[in-house]
């Protein structure tokens, strides 16, 4: 089981969260991208751009934050956080 937790934060308060789950046999990278896409769809957001900082942080910690710099459109929150909470 692969689970990716998506959270929207503003002023140190959790506004929304959701968990994407998958039992498929895709690679970890495909699962992360698919999970991010589903999380953004549920939050009605455009998909963020992966900056170098996001890639390095995600490789090291299995979590990263997407701030306004990662989004093309304006956002009304501080950042979107994704975190792998379970993988087989």
- For 43-54, the pLDDT digits (tens) are 999 999 999 999
Q: Look up the pTM and report it.
A: 0.93
Residue written as token pair 């379970």 = 86
- For 1-34, the pLDDT digits (tens) are 999 999 999 999 999 999 999 998 899 999 999 9
Per-domain residue ranges of the chain: 2-86
Contacts 24+ apart (CB under 8 A), 11-17: 11/78, 15/77, 16/43
- For 61-84, the pLDDT digits (tens) are 999 999 999 999 999 999 999 999
Note the pLDDT of residue 88: 82
| pLDDT (average), residues 36-44 | 97
């Amino acid at each position: 089981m692969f689970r990716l937790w998506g959270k929207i934060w503003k002023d140190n308060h959790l506004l929304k969260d959701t968990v994407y789950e998958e039992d498929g046999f895709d690679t970890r990278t495909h699962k992360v991208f698919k999970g991010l896409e589903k999380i953004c769809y549920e939050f009605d957001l455009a998909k963020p751009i992966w900056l170098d900082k996001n890639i390095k942080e995600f490789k090291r910690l299995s979590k990263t934050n997407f701030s306004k710099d990662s989004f093309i459109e304006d956002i009304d929150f501080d950042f979107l956080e994704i975190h792998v909470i379970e993988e087989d």
